Every structure is written in structure tokens, then in C-alpha cells.
Amino acid sequence: MGISLKGYTNSKYVFAACRSPQNAAELQALAKENSNVIIIKLDVTDDSDIDSAVEQTRAVLKNEGLNLLINNVGISNRSIGGDLQQQMRNDLQSHFDTNVSASIIVTQKFLPLLKKAAEDNSSLPLGCSRAAVINISSVLGSITKALEGTGNQDYNYFVSKAALNMATALMSVELRRYGILVAALHPGWVKTDMGGPNAVLDKETSIQKCWSVIKNASEKSCGLHLSYDGTIIPF
């Protein structure tokens, strides 16, 4: 997602975080072509990595703040069956750590830089031009949709994304007082390693639509779970 998103922003800096920069050939090529792309090593399940990422970002920004934080993290082990009898504690915990805890802690650590941006741009309305946090979620985390009983279920992924939506709601209430917008965003079923070849959206289409939603997010978007097409997904 981050690689595709680069084409839709002319920001002064774009910080691209990944677990193994040395193995991210496509990202390395992008950074070589665009001096404003800064690659940062970040394993979101490692607190020391998060602290290091914050310090690297702060060193580049100097006296500036961070306007937009996109928490684009998620794992889904589809090899585990969907039935209750097949669930295992360690799988549930690993999904919750990556899909929920990581976004909470990353936002917590980057909060001073987000506050700085919000203060420096206090004349602007709530939005990504001032300061915003976008948590990449999924329609599969919608309890309302789950109760419709489609038959498709994945405890690990569905439950963790539902929890991320709650974290988004709580963050939005708390951070709004600082002038920081927080919302969740469903990017659609995308043809990625996780989405698989049968997905209905290619990456470019998803990113184009997601970026439009992010750019147009306003005070009315606070705490909402938005779809890539701009519609509101029920919790």
C-alpha cells in the first residue's frame, strides 16, 4: 500500500516503514528515485524498533511535526479453520498483537510529533493537512456485518479488526481535543499477498480511492469506519 500511495502525495517527507528494508527492493528503488521518501526499519511488534523509528523520524523532521500517520499493519493466517473448535490461544494472541496492539502503541509513541503538527497548523480544520491518524481496518471487523451470518468467518482476523475499530473510536475521542483526527479505513478486497489473486480490486484502484477518502476526511469523519469508496461501514 505504501509504495502505491507515494504517487498520490507531494508531501515534503514520506516515511516508509517496513520490517526488512534491505529486502524491500521495490521500496529501495522508490527511495532512490524520490529524495523525499525515507525508509525506516520497523517491526511493529518490537517496542525498541518503534522507539527507534520515532527518533529517526524526529531527526529528519527537526522542528516540524508529523501530519499523517497511517497504521497499515495486519496479519491473517487463513490456514486456521474458521470454526470455534479450531481456534488456538497463541494464534489469537499473535493476531491481536499485530492487528491491534501495534497500532495503539505506534500511535502512542508518535503522538508528540502529531501534537506538534496539530499545534503548528491550529488555524486549519481537522484533517490530514493538520494532523491525522488513519488505522487500516476491514469490513470484516464489522460486528453488524458479522451478525448478518454470511457463513464466512475467521476468528483471528475478524475479532482483531473489530478491536482495532474500538481502539480507533477511543483514540478519536481522546485525540480530537488536541486537533488530531482519527478514523479507520477499509481499503477493499485488494489483490495483495494477503488478499490473494481472486480479490476484486487492484492496488492502484484501491489506493486512488483510499487517498481520496483520506484527503477529504474532516471533523465529521472522526471515529468513523470508512470504506475506500467513502461510505460509512457500521461497527
Q: What are the tens digits of pLDDT across the range 141-164? A: 999 999 987 667 889 999 999 999
Residues shown for the chain: 235
Q: What is the pLDDT of residue 182?
A: 99
Question: What sign does the dihedral 163-114-203-77 (CA atoms) show?
Answer: negative
Question: Of 131, 101, 136, 126, whose CA–CA distance to 225 is shortest?
Answer: 136
Residues 184 and 171: beta-carbon distance below 8 Å: no
Burial of 63 (0-12, 13-18, 19+ CB in 10 A): exposed
Residues 49 and 42: beta-carbon distance below 8 Å: yes
Q: What is the pLDDT of residue 204?
A: 83
How many angstroms separate the first and last alpha carbons of the chain? 24
Q: How far apart are CA 16 and CA 12, in angstroms?
A: 13
3-class state of residue 121 by DSSP: coil
Mean confidence (pLDDT) of the chain:
91
- The two most distant CA atoms of the chain are separated, in Å, by 54
Q: What is the CATH number of domain 61-226?
A: 3.40.50.720
CA dihedral 105, 110, 116, 122 (to 10 degrees): -60
pTM here is 0.93
List, for residues 63-85, the tens digit of each pLDDT value.
Answer: 999 999 999 999 988 766 678 98
In sequence order, the 6+-apart residues with CB closer than 8 A to the CB of 118 are: 65, 130, 131, 178, 179, 180
Burial 2-27 (b: 16+ CB within 10 A, else e): bbbbbeeeeeeebbbbbeeeeebeeb
